[in-house]
């Protein structure tokens, strides 16, 4: 079964505001592709500032595109070594 979520973990050198900015850019880009309503419904994500982690739901085409956009913006803006990302199965999400 393919992963339905991706977990990002951010280095302590990376300002969380830069992560938030990349999330916002990814949301705006997804809205350009899918519209505001569909993006609001299907680009599901959770940013845990204290844990310096983010979970992105990729179970829809909007979520999958949002995930790719977020990865791209984060890589370009902050560098590929500023974060790690890994797939997480739905059953494993509570430990994410």
Domain ranges for the chain:
5-95
Average pLDDT over residues 70-79: 97
State the pLDDT at residue 93.
46
**pLDDT above 90: residue 73:** yes
pTM: 0.89
**pLDDT above 90: residue 95:** no
Architecture of domain 5-95: 2-Layer Sandwich (3.30)
CA dist 53 and 40 (Å) reads 21
């Amino acid at each position: 079964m393919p992963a339905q979520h991706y977990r990002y973990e951010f280095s302590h050198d990376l300002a969380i505001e830069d992560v938030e900015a990349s999330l916002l850019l990814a949301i705006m880009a997804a809205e350009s592709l899918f519209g505001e309503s569909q993006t609001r419904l299907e680009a599901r994500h959770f940013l845990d500032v204290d844990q310096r982690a983010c979970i992105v739901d990729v179970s829809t085409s909007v979520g999958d595109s949002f995930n790719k956009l977020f990865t791209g913006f984060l890589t370009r803006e902050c560098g590929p070594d500023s974060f790690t990302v890994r797939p997480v199965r739905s059953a494993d999400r509570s430990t994410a």
